[in-house]
Amino acid sequence: MSEFDFDLFVIGAGSGGVRASRIAASHGARVALAEEYRVGGTCVIRGCVPKKLLVYGAHFAEDLKDARKFGWDVPDCKFDWNRLRDNVLAEVDRLEGLYGQTLDNHKVTLFKTRATVVGPQKVRLADGQEISAERILIATGGWPHVPEFPGSEHAITSNEVFHLETLPKRVVIAGGGYIANEFAGIFNEFGSKVTIVNRGDTILRGYDEQIRDRLLQISMTKGIEFKFNAPFQSIEKNDDGSLTVHLDNSEPIQADAVLVAAGRVPNSKGLGLEEIGVELDKDGAIKVDEANQSSVPSIYAVGDVTNRIQLTPVAIREGQAFADSVFGGKPTVVDYANVPSAVFSHPPIGAVGMTEAEARNKLGSIRVYTSDFRAMKNVLAGRNERALYKMIVNAATDQVVGLHMIGPDAPEILQAAAVAVKAGLTKTDFDNTVALHPSMAEELVLLK
């Protein structure tokens, strides 16, 4: 008999923690999992899944208008926020149930409570119960960062935005990253007046400059207002419940809701990690090696709490690699090269590999191919919005090292194209592929 209560104790039932738990259990490990909020984590409960459902809902605003050009007699339609909100939350409930069922099917013991680490091989539940485990995995994810300023308590984050009682008529969004731009598109399509306020001068830092400039141009055309180099001073709550947002270098803005989307930080506070010698970086991320092992040999971490790449599929890969390596006898290391990403803005962005600037700095000699076009659907609908596809090629080897796209269904197209970039295919390989016509994706094999 083992001297421990469990072979593995996982803290955090998000995408990485759930994957690690069920795979470890499938390898025969005795696994326990603690989650203080809801099974499913940020992505399922208050992140990418409910957000994508809101994105789908927002698209109908333009689709219903465009349908008239395609012969459909569509009357003026009224949007019901409460109905969409409740339907989305019901779907979240359904998915949470499925995640719980998966854990149960794999005989993972689930503790629906907070757990903290009190020793290299011991955790303590909120009720005081202490449990021993040969290994502990931290998979607590990230948490929205809210800068401290007067009145910051009147702002909401992406945690609360899915639960708004009413649709705000005026929304101020703080930040310039993917969460800020995604919710700007959502609220704008729902009819809210949206203002993005950014303390810097760039949106979507890390994405290709031409692509992010195109999103800025289209967003402004759609009516979204941007204020750059305008840090928050304060938020003042008025007698009627509205908010006045005071900014540096700008006039005050009146709003009904303020959404702070200023990035996410590793959710490691209060877990007892530093007290037992687990090394954290300056942002609170758990430092781990390529085997996901921390400075304490019995403690591992995966997902956003390590702050490597904050993407759900990456957390899942890390959880799988950890379980296979430690409990399955299959040493696995996650490859972080050419990880595709998307911004579900209006229109959406898909990207994989190096940007033009990164490629020039790293490779020196590159070739850049672009296609700037109007999607066929937009032409007939009378919508002037243009898509932009961009391919970065290593001039010395002809290898495609980056693909960047903005336009309808860009993430759906990019996923398949990312396989080609990951496989190291060349521009000639793309050229030799017959186009699928008529489609937007064919632009990728017609670039000249």
Mean pLDDT of 302-325: 97
Question: What is the per-residue pLDDT for 2?
Answer: 78
Q: Is the pLDDT of residue 382 over 90?
A: yes
Q: What is the pLDDT of residues 55-71, one digit of tens each?
A: 999 999 999 999 999 99
Residue 326's pLDDT band (boundaries 50, 70, 90)? Answer: very high
- Cβ contacts of 231 within 8 Å, gap of 6 or more: 199, 247, 248
Q: Is the pLDDT of residue 179 over 70?
A: yes
Output phi, psi for 202, to 5 deg. Answer: -140, 140
Pairing of strands 31-34, 6-11: parallel
Give the span between the Cα atoms of 422 and 91, in whole angstroms.
Answer: 33
Task: Count Cβ atoms within 10 A of the Cβ of residue 374 and give its class: 0-12 exposed, 13-18 middle, 19 or more buried.
Answer: middle
What domains, with CATH codes, occur in the chain?
Answer: 6-143+265-327 (3.50.50.60), 152-262 (3.50.50.60), 347-445 (3.30.390.30)
- The torsion region of residue 153 among left (phi > 0), alpha (psi -120 to 50) and beta comes to alpha
> Is residue 364 annotated as involved in ligand binding?
no
Output phi, psi for 89, to 5 deg. Answer: -65, -35
> Is residue 52 annotated as involved in ligand binding?
yes
Examine the residue annotation and report whether 437 is marked as an active-site residue of this protein: yes
Question: Exactly one of 27, 59, 154, 437 is catalytic; which is it?
Answer: 437
Mean pLDDT of 197-213: 96
> Is residue 182 annotated as involved in ligand binding?
yes
> Is residue 270 annotated as involved in ligand binding?
no
Give the span between the Cα atoms of 334 and 315, in whole angstroms.
Answer: 10
> Is residue 181 annotated as involved in ligand binding?
yes
Question: What is the per-residue pLDDT for 1?
Answer: 63
Of 389, 400, 408, 374, nearest in space to 446 by CA? 389
